[in-house]
Structure 1
Amino acid sequence: MLKRPEIGEIASHFQAYIQEVPDEDLEALLEKQVDEVIGLMGNLTEEQAAYRYAEGKWSLKQVLGHITDTERIFSYRLLCIARGDKTPLPGFEEGLYAVNSPADRMTLNELLQDFAAVRISTLSLFRQLQDEEWERVGTFSGNPGSAKVLAYLIAGHSIHHLRIIRERYLQN
Structure 2
Amino acid sequence: MFKRPKLEEFPAYTRNYIKLVPEGDIVDILTEQLDKTYNLLSQVTEDQADYRYEDGKWSLSEVIGHLTDTERIMAYRILRIARGDQNPLVGFDENEFVKKASFFVRPMADLLEDYQNVRTATTSLLKGLPQHSLKYRSNANGFDVTVETVAYMVAGHERHHLKIIEEKYL
Per the normalisation by structure 1, the TM-score is 0.96
Corresponding residue of 1:115? 115
- Structure 2: stretches of 5+ with no match in the other structure: none
Q: Which residue of 1 aligns with 2:90?
A: 90
- Percent identity, aligned pairs only, is 42
Q: Deviations over 1:64-111 (max 9, x none)?
A: 000000000000001000000000000111111111113111000000
Shift of 1:7: 2.4
Q: 1:49-88 residue pairs with structure 2 within 5 A?
A: 49-88=49-88
The aligned residue for residue 17 of structure 2 is 17
Query: Number of aligned pairs?
Result: 170
Equivalent position amino acid for 2:40 in 1: L
Preserved contact between residue 3 and residue 24 of structure 2 (Cα < 8 Å):
no
**Secondary structure of the corresponding residue to residue 77 of structure 2:** helix
- Which residue of structure 2 aligns with residue 133 of structure 1? 133
Instruction: Give CA-to-partner distance per residue, 1:2-61, whole Å, 9 cap, x none.
Output: 111112321111111111100122211111122211211112210111100010110000
| More divergent stretch after superposition (151-160 vs 12-21) | 12-21
Runs of 4+ in 1 over 2 A off after TM superposition: none
Tell me the C-alpha RMSD between the 2 structures: 0.9
Q: Which amino acid aligns with 2:123?
A: L
**Contact residue 135 and residue 147 of structure 2 kept, 8 A:** yes
SS at match of 1:86: coil
Distance (whole Å) between structure 1 residues aligned to residue 32 and residue 6 of structure 2 = 24
